Structure 1
């Protein structure tokens, strides 16, 4: 075999070195590009949590308690406000600044405050979810109830008309927080405060005879109350 000149061998080694180096650089660039893409690209929607993949962009609906469990928040969606009896959070029976409290029948309000003062010794506060209401507020609540329950007949089990509502007359109050309603269910009669409807453990009215005789038998719901059928 003929001997390869030294110059030719050096040239060949240089060529191989350049080719090898070029391949290594090319591979490194490809790997780097793939790694950058994997870090910068967002995960597919299918890999996100369901709450992130399907966000709710609509308005937050008012959360109301299930009937018969806890007092509902009477928060309207229309133009009525505090002057109509709308009650913000944490209003107590002592907050005269709010018409929902100040416009209650004076005898009912006095009894509520006497009971609330006694309950405070047990660590119980009487919050007002709803008290006096204007006719406009009552009518709006009734319209919303018809929409919610599907008919006027079903809505009447929870909301009276403005003409018959004891709230509009200032003679009824919805007590917030289950502990306060429970306190009143046990001791309210001592102050003439009685639950009137079995399906509304938060709804209280004044019955002065209850101080001596106990509270009268409850109606199953407002549709059985003769006062709401006028």
Structure 2
């Protein structure tokens, strides 16, 4: 199981949290424990992560491969988690669709979001990285 009382988990979308709880309980039966390394994030914290990524990768374009803006991040809306350890990621990779939990980005095997349709149809194809996700694109008006 995992501690679902910490703010990053407790603030998740209720349907997402329910699916995560079910998956964690079943994973525990297989001896696998989930650790939510990051769940809900405040817009301020997401902005800090973005600034840090720009510094680390040298440009906004490169940072966008790893970190979304506060306006577009599914973490800020309570619709994403970063999961660990490796055994949990492997378990979710194999079983996550049964709960509607899907890896969204090929370059982020720890990042999962709720896709309820996956229960019946499987997870959608992954984006290579967040910069390819149309939900995360800024729509700046000039």
Alignment partner, residue 100 of structure 2: 192
Q: Which residue of 2 aligns with 1:168?
A: 76
**Matched-pair contact (CA < 8 Å) for 1:132–1:171:** yes
Mapped partners of 1:209, 1:142: distance in 2: 30
Structure 2 residue 82 is the aligned partner of structure 1 residue 182: no
Aligned-pair Cα RMSD in Å: 0.9
Query: Residues 94-140 of structure 1, C-alpha deviation per residue, up to 9 Å, x if partnerless?
Result: 331x2101100010000001000000011100101100000000000
For residues 114 and 122 of structure 1, what CA distance do their matches in structure 2 show?
Answer: 13
- Name the counterpart of 1:118: 26
Count of residues in correspondence between the two structures: 138
Q: In the TM superposition, what are the counterparts of 1:50-199 in structure 2 within 5 Å? A: 93-96=2-5, 98-199=6-107
Q: Which of these two proteins has the greater Rg computed from alpha carbons?
A: 1
Q: Is the 8 A contact 1:171 1:206 kept in 2?
A: yes
- 1:24-49 deviation digits (Å, cap 9, x = unpaired): xxxxxxxxxxxxxxxxxxxxxxxxxx
Structure 2: how far apart are the matches of 1:227 and 1:121?
Answer: 35
Name the counterpart of 2:125: 217
Say whether the 8 Å CA contact 1:94–1:113 is kept in structure 2: no
DSSP 3-state at the match of 1:174:
strand
Using the TM superposition, give the Cα deviation of residue 176 of structure 1 relative to its aligned residue in structure 2, in angstroms. Answer: 1.4
The 8 Å contact of residues 198 and 220 in structure 1, kept in 2 or not, is answered as yes
> Greater share of strand residues, 1 or 2?
2
Structure 1 residue runs of 4 or more that deviate by more than 6 Å after TM superposition: none
Name which of 85, 93, 111 aligns with 1:203.
Answer: 111
Rounded Cα–Cα distance in structure 1 between residues aligned with 2:29 and 2:15 = 22
Q: Counterparts of 2:53 and 2:114 in 1: how far apart (Å)?
A: 26
Displacement of 1:93 in angstroms is: 3.8
Secondary structure, aligned partner of 1:208: coil
| Structure 1: gaps (5+ residues) | 1-91
Aligned counterparts of 1:93 and 1:226: Cα–Cα separation in 2: 31
